[in-house]
Structure 1
Amino acid sequence: MLSLCILETDHLRPELVDEFHGYGYLFQRLFERQPIPVRCSVFNVVDGHYPADTQTFDAYLITGSKADAFGDAPWIEVLRSYLLQRYQAGDMLLGICFGHQILALVLGGECGRSDRGWGLGVHHYQLLEHKPWMTPTRDGFDLLVSHQDQVSVLPKGAQLLASSPFCPLAAYQVGKQVLCFQGHPEFVEPYAQALLDLRREVYGEDLYGQATASFRQGNDGALIAQWMLQFVTWS
């Protein structure tokens, strides 16, 4: 059984906690449905919680967050330092949304607020590379998204895996050690819809309507979760 450390980088809005609990919980539910068995340990790094030095994991997963990966909050600075230590120690790292962005920064890339605005709803990504751990194979995939920041420069040595017109650097790999996606495989449609409803005035009616309508096409969160676990076991 794989041992996965989930570094939770946010707290859900209070009105969403009873139903959705947290990002760590959403990932646990997602991985429970995968063919590769995995044991998840969740640590909320916003609260300063990290694994003990004696704990070992097959991989570390950094979740999404409403915070900016390039921010200067103390907990973000501590996390960046911790992730660099993990990378230098040879640990395997998986990044989703905020995690995708902060790992790019830690490894020498760049990210920031995108002039394309908010990405919401279900987005389609074209797969640019087909790897052995990407089974079942696809030419592209769809994921639920909620972000206005993007990676603008990949880390040195990173390989771009997937892209879209809205998010050109949507997924990347660094050797056999790092795999990151901008989209959210752990999101379920009720949670994504609840986020949209809470921020409807911020997004405006046009973008809100487009995002809500996009849910009808479904998404490939389960597929990406399977690929992530296969990446860990393949490497």
Structure 2
Amino acid sequence: MKIGILQTGLLPDSLSARWGQYADIFARHLEARGFETAAWSVVEGAFPDGPQAADGWLITGSKHGAYEDHDWIPPLEALIRDIRDSGRPLVGVCFGHQIIAQALGGRVEKYEGGWAVGAHTYDFRDGPKTINAWHQDQVIAVPDGAEIVATNPFCAYAALLYADRIYSVQAHPEFDDDFTQALIDERGPGIVPDALLEGARAKLGTPTDRAAIWDQFERFFREGRLT
């Protein structure tokens, strides 16, 4: 099964030298589970011909806001709707979670409660799961028909399911502790309040359930179900 990765952000050289770009990080996880991958850097204007270019799709995170005025956002929203209409499975992570909701009639804003960074625990249907987060924007109104799959007091719409064909999560199952620490050290200062960065640093080493979310993604792509 071929998964098309839609890259919506770029890592700085200091991080990409070690991990590659976002598409590379996701490709490693997907290929380790037996998927074939192809990537399009939509943030740089590279788009597939249409939903038929892959069997399933994944949209990455980004430093950009879904509500910002970028030339690549309207065609990405149109592609999301085309993928939905094609019946192919689509997964979104962080920005991917947000842009899917916006494209399908929801609303995304810079959250008045501020940032979520580091390990956070979310109430999923099958129990609590701890995942690394890094975001200030949130989905604040869900599209019609979207089911809430996960929530916590800080992020009401932490995971959404759309008719068993689209699944999205706000947190980052692709972020391990090393990557999260690099974000704390290199991306956070001057942007994220120091107290939040130190709180996230203190939680490094907390066991996470990122593998369980990847299990969800695999089942969703292959079987159209989460559990």
Q: Give TM-score scaled by structure 1 length.
A: 0.90
Match among 117, 125, 147 for residue 159 of structure 1: 147
Q: How does 1:34-73 map to 2 (within 5 A)?
A: 34=33, 37-53=34-50, 55-73=52-70
Question: Is the CA contact (8 Å cut-off) linking 1:6 and 1:61 kept in structure 2?
Answer: yes
1:150-204 superposed Cα distances (whole Å, 9 cap, x missing partner): 0011111111000011101000101121100001111122221111112223323
Which 10-residue stretch deviates more, 85-94 or 109-118?
A: 85-94
Question: Taking structure 1 as reference, are residues 164 and 230 closer, same or farther at Cα in structure 2, changes over 3 Å only?
Answer: same
RMSD over aligned CA atoms reads 1.5
- Within 5 A, what are the aligned runs for 1:24-173? 24-34=23-33, 37-53=34-50, 55-127=52-124, 129=125, 138-173=126-161
CA spacing shift, 1:53–1:178, aligned 2, 3 Å: closer
Change (3 A) 1:32 1:221: farther
Query: 1:134 matched to which residue of 2?
Result: none
- Whether the 8 Å CA contact 1:30–1:222 is kept in 2: the answer is no
> Which 5+ residue runs of structure 1 have no aligned equivalent?
130-137
Partner of 1:174: 162
How many Å apart are 1:55 and its aligned residue? 4.8
Aligned residues: 223
Match of 2:12 in 1: 13
| Higher alpha-carbon deviation: 83-92 or 102-111 | 83-92
Distance 1:76 1:52 in 2: 16
Change in Cα spacing, 1:142 to 1:33, as seen in structure 2 (3 Å) is farther
Distance 1:176 1:58 in 2: 15
CA distances 1:102-146 after superposition (whole Å, capped 9, x unpaired): 00011111111101101100110011x3xxxxxxxx411111111
The equivalent residue for 2:171 is 183
Please give the secondary structure, in 1, of the residue aligned with 2:191.
helix
Partners of 1:118 and 1:54 lie apart in 2 by 33
Partners in 2 of 1:19 and 1:55 — Cα distance? 32
Other structure's SS at 2:190 match: helix
Calculate the TM-score normalised by the size of structure 2. 0.93
**Percent identical residues:** 33
Aligned to 2:21: 22
CA distance, structure 2, for counterparts of residue 53 and residue 95 of structure 1 = 17
Whole-angstrom distance in 2 between the partners of 1:142 and 1:108: 28
Q: Is the 8 A contact 1:119 1:147 kept in 2?
A: yes
Structure 2: gaps (5+ residues): none
Residue 201 of structure 1 aligns to which amino acid in structure 2? G
Aligned partner of residue 104 in structure 1, secondary structure: helix
| Bigger Cα displacement from structure 2, 105-114 vs 186-195 | 186-195
Partner-residue secondary structure (3-state), 1:151: strand
Distance 2:78 2:171 in 1: 24
- 2:82 & 2:66 partners in 1: Cα distance? 17
Contact 1:114 1:148 (C-alpha < 8 Å) held by counterparts:
yes
